[in-house]
Amino acid sequence: MSEDSKREVGQVVSLAARWRKLEREAIDAANEMADPEAKRRMLFVAQSYRLIAERIELRAELLEALEEIKSGPGNDNGTPGKGTDKTDEAK
């Protein structure tokens, strides 16, 4: 994996962790609330934060998978189909 890709995945993972932290804080705040309507709304916010974090985590997985495809076997330049495959040289 290239350094740029590692950095990008690291940033995405860090961003997801930040949203997870916000989710926990919203849940904690909801648990302190006496008003049922306010608590319901805060739990909705927490759920929204969780969904954002999940979406970001999915993006990190996709970035890693794309990088794996780019740097597949016999592919030293990141371009699919242009590696050291002998069939390409015969053409």
pLDDT (tens digit per residue) in 27-39: 999 999 999 999 9
Whether 88 is in a domain gets the answer no
Whether 62 is in a domain gets the answer yes
* Structural domains of the chain, count: 1
30, 31, 36, 41: CA torsion to nearest 10: 20
> Residue 74 — pLDDT band, cuts 50, 70, 90?
low
> Residue 79 — pLDDT band, cuts 50, 70, 90?
low
Whether 33 is in a domain gets the answer yes
Q: In terms of pLDDT, which residue wins out, 11 or 29?
A: 29
Whether 87 is in a domain gets the answer no
Whether 31 is in a domain gets the answer yes
Whether 91 is in a domain gets the answer no
Whether 35 is in a domain gets the answer yes
Whether 18 is in a domain gets the answer yes
Q: What is the pTM of this model?
A: 0.70
Q: Tell me the residue range of the domain where 43 lies.
A: 3-72
> Residue 57 — pLDDT band, cuts 50, 70, 90?
very high
